[in-house]
Amino acid sequence: MALRADRQGPHRVAFEKNKRVLLKTHNTCGICGKPIDKTLKAPHPLSPVVDHIVPINKGGHPSSIENLQLAHWTCNRQKSDKLYSVKDEAPKVVGNRNLPQSTDWASYGG
């Protein structure tokens, strides 16, 4: 089952629950290892966000706590920028809808 949305159905419920657990039990960023000030709110760069350790589009679980970690907003952002810049060698002018041919879309939708 390759459900990739973490914002709908059972995954959303589990994600929200695990987010609360992480906020309660973790104080540091899973990416840079530094403390997180939980009083900060997005879009503050150092506000807490829940990061998918393995991104959903790389096969990571959308809502399992084993695939979630607390991270700084900015660290999470840099992580995804890095993931996409490594993979995406196409020029930036490519429109959002032009998905790279290199991606194995056939493996989605299971």
Query: Residue number with the shortest CB distance to Zn ion?
Result: 29
Shortest reach from residue 82's CB to Zn ion, in Å = 13
**How far is residue 7 from each of residues 11, 15, 67, measured CA to CA in Å?**
7, 8, 15
Shortest reach from residue 69's CB to Zn ion, in Å = 10
Q: Work out which of 11, 19, 52, 72 binds Zn ion, going by CB under 5 A.
A: 72
CA separation for the pair 98, 70 (Å, rounded) = 32
In this structure, the chain runs to a length of 110
CA separation for the pair 52, 68 (Å, rounded) = 5
Which stretch, 5-13, 23-31, 88-96, 98-106, contacts Zn ion (CB under 5 A)? 23-31
Note whether 49 binds Zn ion by CB under 5 A: no
At 20, is the secondary structure helix, strand, or coil? helix
Shortest reach from residue 78's CB to Zn ion, in Å = 9
Note whether 22 binds Zn ion by CB under 5 A: no
For the record, the structure tokens of 84 come out as 């996409």
β-strands 68-72, 48-52 pairing = antiparallel
Q: Work out which of 51, 62, 75, 79 binds Zn ion, going by CB under 5 A.
A: 75
Binding site for Zn ion (CB under 5 A): 29, 31-32, 72, 75
